[in-house]
Chains A and B, each alone.
Chain A
Amino acid sequence: MTNTESLENVVLELRRGVIVLAALSQLGSEQYGYSLLKQLAELGMEVDQGTLYPLLRRLEAQGLLVSVWKLEEARPRRYYVISAEGKKLLPKLKKEWAGIVSVMDKMLA
């Protein structure tokens, strides 16, 4: 494994843990997968579609998101939104994240 590959793998692992929080934070209002993907990218978080779509389904299975199919522009789209349970979890996740950032800032200073 080359250094570039190692770096890519580590970065991928780092981002993987953050995507859940990123997705939950952006789903306060209904969004379909592709619109969420674009929104995350606009905010600076490029997420692979192969990661995001299965993640959305998993979060829904865990009860943190709810989804509904809507017919728009002659095309059915699946809209996701944070569930009541997800809303309860989000502040806790944010707090955890703040803690991690604070610890890591100290470590890396």
Chain B
Amino acid sequence: MNLINRYVTEVGKRLPLLKGREDIEKELRSTLEDMLEDRAQKAGRPADEALEIELLKEYGAPQTVAATYNPQPYLIGPRLFPFFLMVLKIVIPIVVTVLLVLAGIRAATETPFMGADFVNIVGAGLGEAFSAAIAAFGNIALVFAILERVLPDEQIDDLKMEEDWNPASLAAEPDPDSVKRGELIAEIVFTFVGLAILNLYPNILGMGFFMEDEWIFIPMFSAAFFAFIPWINATFLAEILLDIYLLRSALWTPLTRVAKIIIEAAGIALAVIILRTPNIIGFTGKSFANSSISADAAQTLTTVFTIMFPVILIIVIIVQGIEIAKAVYRLFKAKYQTR
């Protein structure tokens, strides 16, 4: 019986402590003893080690036997898994976005948009965002793994939403290739307004005030920025033309998706170049020297504009990056589905 005891102990080591380990061990021992006795009777000799070995070999490896008592060895079981995914989809994008925006602000405020420091901060920001995403994933998985083990089955079942589900609430299945007209129209309008301001009314981009009955205007951007106007015009016009074409055709095609990717990539490239060009903002604290604005207030205004502009550009870059990712995803998905 010595081998049986050792075998039962080995199985027991692999059984969940809280799910009747001792009871299972006791029952297993009793069964093995019954089986051994049966075999000894059939063999016409007393139970010996050879019979024990034969029996245990037939019964199976301890880990295999233990696994039969734990048929669902999930870290997170199928009932909690949808909630786990839902939480991941909410938390990870928020964590990554917040860290990337913070890195963008740091890069914009702590460096002159050029050189090694800028690259270092942006690189460190990406690294932090990646680490935070992994850490968030690990922590969420840990919490759900604990919930899987401590929540009673009834409570997990209570989380199910199937009973409240109504088929009538199903939205019409969106065609991934159909264009969203509202989005396109809004994009055309805003891009057109942007074009008009930059080309026809650049004088409204800045700060104006009366000084001794005289209107003083300080432009927000320097000549360095206006050197980019032809390029900005080109990307904006391309965007408008593509949007108009899409409105007419009502459907995305691989060609229009590639065009979208190129335009958005050009937009990102332009935004990065502008971001890294020094002295884009046209005024400094000294620009207000002749105004009634105090030196401190002037400095604060300058700082706010100096920070705001790169932040806006970084947001533009992120949005365009998302647009590219969506277009690439749709492009490859369509390609895969047509195979």
Contacts and interface: CB of A to CB of B under 8 A. Distances in A.
Interface in A53-83: 53-54, 57, 69, 75-78
Given A33-B27, A75-B33, A76-B26, A50 B65 contact: yes
Contacts of A33: 27, 31
A34 B31 contact: yes
Contacts of A77: 30, 34
A89 to B, nearest CB: 19
B57 to A, nearest CB: 14
Chain B interface main SS type = helix
Contacts of B71: 54
Chain A interface main SS type = helix
B209 interface: no
Contacts of A78: 23, 26-27, 30
A76 B59 CA distance: 20
Q: How large is the interface on B (under 10, 10 to 19, 20 to 34, 35 or more residues)?
A: 10 to 19
Nearest to A37: B31
Contacts of A32: 30, 34
Contacts of A9: none
B68 A51 contact: yes
Contact of A54 (B35, B59, B68): B68
B30 A49 contact: no
Interface residues of A, number: 14
Contacts of A34: 30-31, 34-35
Contacts of B34: 32, 34, 75, 77
B206 to A, nearest CB: 73
Interface string B6-32: 000000000000001001101110110
Contacts of A75: 30, 33-34
Interface in B160-179: none
Given A32-B30, A34-B31, A78-B27, A49 B59 contact: yes
Contact of B68 (A50, A69, A76): A50
Given A50-B64, A54-B68, A69-B26, 18 more contacts: A49-B31, A50-B60, A50-B65, A50-B68, A51-B68, A53-B27, A53-B28, A53-B69, A54-B71, A57-B20, A57-B24, A57-B69, A75-B30, A75-B34, A76-B30, A77-B34, A78-B23, A78-B27
Interface of B: 20, 23-24, 26-28, 30-31, 33-35, 59-60, 64-65, 68-69, 71
